[in-house]
Amino acid sequence: MTSPSGISRGREGPVIDIGNLPGHSVELGRDTPLVLDCGTPLGPFTVAYQTYGELNAEKSNAVLVCHALTGDQFVAEPHPVTSKEGWWEEMVGLGKPLDTERYFIICANVLSGCMGTTGPRSENPETGKPYGLDFPVITIRDMVNAQKLLIDHLGIGKLFCVIGGSMGGMQVLQWAASYPEHVFSAVPIAASGRHSAQNIAFHEIGRQAIMADPNWNGGDYYSRDTYPHSGLAVARMVAHITYLSESALQRKFGRRLQDRSEVAYGFDADFRVESYLRHQGITFVERFDANSYLYITRAMDYFDLTEEHSNVLARAFPETPVRFCVISFTSDWLFPTSESRALVHALNAVAANVSFVEIEADGGHDSFLLDVPELHATLTGFLNGAAEHRGIA
């Protein structure tokens, strides 16, 4: 079924067979539930994760990759739903900066996600039905605390590196703030110490679009034969614009038309940029849960490392032993360089070991996912230096 706008409006949500996902999953918090920031104890809960490479005998070569808002644990292999290549194959693999011959790479689906880790689509043990909006609102710190339990479960005392872009970078910062003795090095890319007003505003648009879709039904759509396709597609479309730079949009699409030589004087997708955005919306709803989108955006909005430190970011990292590599991109207007600079100033203020690179790239916020040679070179250099200090062969 196709709506007048061209957005597919199927009746069912994404079909993800959680039981048959590749990779690993572990039940955590059975004996001692994880007490979330909102005060709710959660447990037992499942964390689905994937690993690449081998943990060395010293358990010193583990790298935790933290995924972004719509990412998942399938970093360096085809996505089990879309069959597209892993979201960070640019960076993770044989001979890549995160070389799977040298490092043991771990990536876990975040708490409240929809790829195997417990989230709003999971069964609420109290009712035997999916949580929906009864799932507790989680924070970036909750996500990181769940990851810490996973790392404990794997018997890893200290991560060689925690790395991630965007929301992944927020988790990196939270790791460094919460568990400085368990992190040797940290690489927050295109991130920020707290979510800005503009970014909260864009997230709120996405949530409003989802919640305005009658098929959302107050978050209770799992047992129905409807799904808030249209609302989630609009949410994805607006987010997607913010991931690209104006110049990249101009270069990739400009005002070029889609399969026509002149405008059609109508509301069909005349322009390629429209067609591209619609495609982004349609394909996203096939792989993502609308309620997870609400929860994860909310976690990002709530992220503010300064909050409990009288608005002084530096106080989140007192006497930190962590080696930082902070990276931003010139064309990223969602997490602009000024955010990374504020972070570097804070780390300088506590005399942290921090290097900072603003990389010239016109791909916008999404540059961290793209083939950007300077990003490769920066990461390779930093990781090599850190590995040497850590004594990794």
Q: Catalytic: 365? A: yes
**3-state class (DSSP) for residue 243:** helix
Chosen residue from 49, 103, 175, 302 binding its own copies by CB under 8 A? 302
Establish if 286 lies at the interface with its own copies (CB under 8 A). Answer: no
Query: Which residues, 328 to 357, sit near its own copies by CB under 8 A?
Result: 333, 336
Q: Catalytic: 332? A: yes
Select the span of 44-52, 154-162, 268-276, 385-393 touching its own copies (CB under 8 A).
268-276
Query: Which residues, 120 to 149, sit near its own copies by CB under 8 A?
Result: 133, 136-137
β-pairing, 92-93 with 62-66?
unpaired
Report in angstroms how near the CB of residue 238 gets to its own copies at its nearest. Answer: 5
β-pairing, 34-35 with 41-42?
antiparallel
Tokens at 106, concatenated: 């771990």
Cβ atoms of residues 126 and 110 within 8 Å: no
Report in angstroms how near the CB of residue 347 gets to its own copies at its nearest. Answer: 21
Select the span of 17-25, 113-121, 209-217, 370-378 touching its own copies (CB under 8 A).
209-217
Report in angstroms how near the CB of residue 312 gets to its own copies at its nearest. Answer: 15
Residue 190, number of CB atoms within 10 A of its CB: 30
Whole-angstrom distance, CA of residue 71 vs CA of residue 229? 19
Phi/psi at 327 (5° precision) = -130, 135
Closest C-alpha to 233, from 208, 202, 267, 209: 209
Could you list the beta-strand ranges (E) of the chain.
24-28, 34-35, 41-42, 45-52, 62-66, 92-93, 98-99, 104-108, 123-124, 129-130, 159-165, 183-189, 323-329, 353-359
Q: Convert residues 166-205 into a mask of x (bound to its own copies by CB under 8 A) and - (unbound).
A: ----------------------------xxxxx-xxx-xx
Select the span of 4-12, 65-73, 150-158, 376-384 touching its own copies (CB under 8 A).
4-12
Whole-angstrom distance, CA of residue 115 vs CA of residue 17? 9
Instruction: Please give the full DSSP string across 304-324, using - where no structure is assigned.
Output: BTTGGGTT-GGGGSTT--PEE
Query: Which residues, 25 to 44, sit near its own copies by CB under 8 A?
Result: 37-38
Select the span of 1-9, 74-82, 88-96, 379-387 touching its own copies (CB under 8 A).
1-9
> CA 332, 229, 8 angle in degrees (round to 5)?
100
Q: Convert residues 229-258 into a mask of x (bound to its own copies by CB under 8 A) and - (unbound).
A: -xx-xx--xx--x--x-x--xx-xxxx---
β-pairing, 24-28 with 45-52?
antiparallel
Write down the catalytic residue from 122, 166, 230, 331. Answer: 166
Write down the catalytic residue from 99, 203, 365, 367. Answer: 365
Write down the catalytic residue from 332, 340, 366, 367. Answer: 332
Q: Catalytic: 166? A: yes
Chain residues in the site for its own copies (CB under 8 A): 3-5, 7, 37-38, 133, 136-137, 194-198, 200-202, 204-205, 207-209, 211-214, 216, 218, 230-231, 233-234, 237-238, 241, 244, 246, 249-250, 252-255, 263, 265-267, 269-271, 273-274, 277-278, 281, 294, 298, 301-302, 304, 333, 336
Active site residues: 166, 332, 365
